[in-house]
A = this chain, B = another copy of it.
Amino acid sequence: MKAELVSVGTELLLGEIVDTNAEYMSQRLAEIGVDVHFRHTVGDNLARIVSVLELALSRSDAVLICGGLGPTQDDLTRESVAQVTGCALVSDPDAETHLREFFARRGFTPTSNNLKQATVPEGGRLLDNTCGTAPGVLVEHAGKVIFAVPGPPPEMREMMQRQVLPILCERFGEQLRPVFSRVLRMSDIGESTLVAQIDDIISGQTDPTVAPYAKPGEVTLRLATKAATEAEAVARFDAMEATLRERVGRFIYGVDDETMEVAAGNALRMRRATVAVAESCTGGLVASRITDVSGASDYMLGGVVAYANEIKQRLLGVPGEVLAEHGAVSEPTARAMAVGVRELYGADYGVATTGIAGPTGGTEEKPVGLVYVAVADADGVVCNEMNWPGTREQFKQRVSQTALNMLRKRVLGIEVARL
């Protein structure tokens, strides 16, 4: 059973926003076994939306449109569906009452534009929107199904989860074959080197498929298969994972949702150990990532963001002479920060970052991108120096990834080599 997705909005074509809705909808459809072979993005233009819908309807069983259901003149999804199905737009009395009440509560009278949101192509029906004003639309036409869902992500998600997916499952149940996947997450290896080492496996892949993908600070291998049952998929994944682990197992740090912050947290929990973080250049990102994990309070005591040198001295106990002699961005300072935050919080592990995020602040001797990351425990301190020029955001992301990876390896007793 095939579906196509259509994202509507000129702001998407102008690159004003990232289309995370398409990602979410694709994921959910893959999970229930709907094949999505094409996705389209089109602006707020009636003729162009209609041309995309005609193409999609000509080759797929269902079309899901996201966006263009708002109250303004350039919201044209309803009109496009009406045109492509040859049905007039008619008002839905319940929806109109609901809209009038919504505006009355805010002290406004809806305009004719606002009331447009209560219309539906004749023969179709509206889908309740429990989080906003724009109802969704469902129209069956010539054996095909057309859904339109609102663009604001919480409204889209709610409507997908509670209405669109159940309707698809009920209608196409017999034809759906879910895609299962497993993601192996790797650190300390680049994509090219990884591909060179397992080139024969990737080339010879049939089922499951094996696809490498590079992300900031890590590379993933995604295994995917279509299977009747989860057990069947798991058996195939286990066999392929075993083959891959023989070759590159030492680089695999996590599976599926086990991100680096989860992997580091799991290591700490397993050892019943605690951590505290001292951050200069990452400015709180390492702590924020650790606490992105539910239950992090089991091992995370907290941290200090020490932007000012005075704080590095007074709170973290970095000696004034170290700062004077080596500077804030130096290996001795990173080591002292890690030791200091460990003692301040009474933690088993102390993690520290200090570097030059840029774009300003670099010198010939200490260029933008230079960074020191240290991890302290009862046995001493390890510290790595790296140089990662890039945007401020990329820099912070990569440094936080390295800090979490060094922490994870130290906790697990894996040698923390210079990267």
Give the residues in chain B near A197, CB-CB below 8 Å.
108
How many A residues touch B, CB cutoff 8 Å? 107
Task: Give bound CA distance, A10 to B284, whole Å.
Answer: 35
A15 partner, pick from B25, B302, B392, beta carbons under 8 A: B25
Known contacts: A291-B305, A396-B288. The answer to whether A23 contacts B18 by CB under 8 A is yes
A227 at the binding interface (Cβ < 8 Å): no
Task: Give bound CA distance, A297 to B202, whole Å.
Answer: 47
Give the residues in chain B near A303, CB-CB below 8 Å.
284, 304-305
A251 at the binding interface (Cβ < 8 Å): no
Q: Which of A370-419 contact B (CB under 8 A)?
A: 390, 392-393, 396
Query: Which chain B residue has the least Cβ–Cβ distance from A35?
Result: B13
Q: A188 to nearest B CB, angstroms?
A: 15
Q: Which of A11-37 contact B (CB under 8 A)?
A: 11-20, 22-30, 36-37
Total copies of the chain: 2
Give the residues in chain B near A22, CB-CB below 8 Å.
15, 19, 41
Q: Which of A66-74, A77-85, A265-273 faces chain B?
A: A66-74
Give the residues in chain B near A203, CB-CB below 8 Å.
72-73, 111, 113
Give per-residue flags for A191-203: 1 if the beta carbon is below 8 A from chain B beta carbons, else 0.
1110111011011
Q: What 6 A-B pairs come out closest when comparing CB atoms?
A: A283-B291, A284-B287, A15-B27, A15-B26, A284-B284, A39-B41
Q: A207 to nearest B CB, angstroms?
A: 13
Contact B71 A199 (CB under 8 A): yes
Q: Which of A139-147, A161-169, A229-237, A306-314 faces chain B?
A: A306-314
Contact B40 A15 (CB under 8 A): no
A358 at the binding interface (Cβ < 8 Å): yes
Known contacts: A43-B37, A211-B11. The answer to whether A16 contacts B307 by CB under 8 A is no
A222 at the binding interface (Cβ < 8 Å): yes
Task: Give bound CA distance, A120 to B302, whole Å.
Answer: 54
Give the residues in chain B near A13, CB-CB below 8 Å.
26, 30, 36-39
A19 partner, pick from B23, B45, B195, B300, beta carbons under 8 A: B23
Query: Which chain B residue has the least Cβ–Cβ distance from A290?
Result: B283
Task: Give bound CA distance, A311 to B357, whole Å.
Answer: 29
A199 partner, pick from B114, B132, B297, B307, beta carbons under 8 A: B114
Task: Give bound CA distance, A26 to B12, whole Å.
Answer: 8
Contact A302 B304 (CB under 8 A): yes
